[in-house]
Amino acid sequence: MKGLTVGKAVTALMLAGLVLLPLYSQLTGNVFILTLFPRIIILALAAASLNLIMGFGGMMSFGHAAYLGIGGYAVGMLAQEGVGSGFVQFPIALAASAAYALVIGALSLRTRGVYFIMITLAFAQMAYYVASGLARYGGDDGLTIYKRSDFAGLIDLGNRTQFYYLCLACLLGVVFLIWRIVNSRFGLVVQGLRSNEQRMQAIGFPAKRYQLVCFVISGTMCGLAGALLANNTDFVSPAVMYWTRSGDLMVMVILGGMGTLFGPIIGAVVFLLLEEFLSQITEYWALIMGPLLLLIVLFGRGGIMGLLGRAGRG
């Protein structure tokens, strides 16, 4: 399977496109594309983090949007309290996401299968309700962030191009990290647990501990996406944690190809562009998107990456 496959070619093309996007925007004067794409890249990061536990670890978390909210609220709440430095905001956002993932993971990993799906879902809803109850930080209406994270002049998050490249760098960094994790001894154990937990335990690996660490890493990565997302929209509200958001993330992973390194990113780009495109044709775009999802699940095994792989062989 070495050499140039269709999947690799498409991935390389997409990455080149993402790197050159600001240049394209400047040449054509299309500013809109630089407001649309940071969001796509940030959600691709979130999808990639979900893929780490779902695709490689076999843990179907249906509450991943909670970390988007926690990372976002960490930035928003600190900004509200007058702490504007990104060097404080981002580490706290990551730490808060990690802490939440540790608690939720420790509880949820006591169960498996469909219980796990529902429990992660319910805990994320809990986070949603807690955020809705935070009267000091906007409650239901959400929290406006008046000043983006301040990185002491190193990066200006208010500058579109710089912010875009920051997001892209974070995405590529996370993908690199996932690649390293997946190919490490730790990653192999986690993937072994996905295939056969009993056997791995019999060999002597403490299954839950490995899975929990993986769960926490994934949650922390998604918290980074949350902190970036809050800076992108200058706003954070409980809605980013709503369970349909978690569903969207899951769909991106599956659409692109679960358990592949770049699949979730392709999935996020396609899903969000499709959403953008369909909503320009009709305001009832979900009427098309819904059945489309159903068809993808029924007939599109392996997502876009799987499709590209088959196209390459055929």
Partner 1 sequence: MLLVVEQFLNGLQFGLLLFLLAAGLTLVFGIMDLVNLAHGSLYMMGAYFAATFAAWTGSFLAGALMALGATLVLGIALEVTALRHLYGRDHLDHVLATFGLILFFNEAVRLIWGPAGLALPLPAWLTVPVPILPGIHYPAYRLAIIIVALLVALLLYLGVMRTRIGMLIRAGASNREMIGALGINIKLLYTLVFGLGAALAGLAGLMQAPILTVQIGMGENILILAFVIIVIGGIGSIRGAFLAAIFVGMIDTLGRAFLPNLLRQVLSGAAASTAAPALSSMLIYLLMAIVLVVRPEGLFPANRR
* Residue 299: CB minimum distance to partner 1, A: 10
* Residue 77: CB minimum distance to partner 1, A: 14
How far is it, in rounded angstroms, from Cα 34 to Cα 138? 28
Q: Using CB under 8 A, list all residues that contact partner 1.
A: 60, 62, 107-108, 110-111, 113-115, 117-119, 121-123, 125-126, 129-130, 132-136, 243-244, 247, 250-251, 254, 284-287, 289-294, 296-298
* Residue 78: CB minimum distance to partner 1, A: 19
Nearer to partner 1 by C-beta: 32 or 299? 299
**If residue 221 lies in a helix (H) or strand (E), which one and from where to where?**
helix 207-233
Picking from 297, 275, 55, the residue whose alpha carbon sits closest to that of residue 187 is 55
Instruction: Could you list the beta-strand ranges (E) of 77-130.
Output: none
* Residue 260: CB minimum distance to partner 1, A: 15
Nearer to partner 1 by C-beta: 203 or 294? 294
Q: Are 25 and 31 in contact (CB under 8 A)?
A: yes
Nearer to partner 1 by C-beta: 135 or 154? 135
The per-residue DSSP string of 103-157 comes to HHHHHHTTS-HHHHHHHHHHHHHHHHHHHHT-GGGTGGG-EE-SS--B-TTSS-T
Picking from 46, 58, 52, 145, the residue whose alpha carbon sits closest to that of residue 97 is 46
* Residue 139: CB minimum distance to partner 1, A: 9
Nearer to partner 1 by C-beta: 28 or 280? 280
Nearer to partner 1 by C-beta: 55 or 187? 55
